[in-house]
Amino acid sequence: MSDFRFFHTHRTWEDWCGMLLGMLIALSSWFPAQTSHELVGGDRGFVVLNTITIGVLVFGLAQLEYVALQRWQEGCEILLGLWLIASPYIFGYFDDGLLRFWHPSLGGLVVLLATLQLWQDWDLSDQEMLKHGR
Tell me the pTM. Answer: 0.80
Amino acid identity, residue 107? G
* Amino acid 3: pLDDT: 52
**Mean pLDDT across the stretch 85-109?**
87
pLDDT digits (tens, 9 = 90+) for 109-125: 999 999 988 887 766 66
Confidence of residue 41 (pLDDT cuts 50, 70, 90): very low
Does residue 50 carry a pLDDT above 50? Answer: yes
Average pLDDT, the chain: 80
Parse the chain into domains and list their residue ranges.
Answer: 14-32+42-122
Task: State how far the Cα of 48 lies from the Cα of 29, in Å rounded to an integer.
Answer: 6
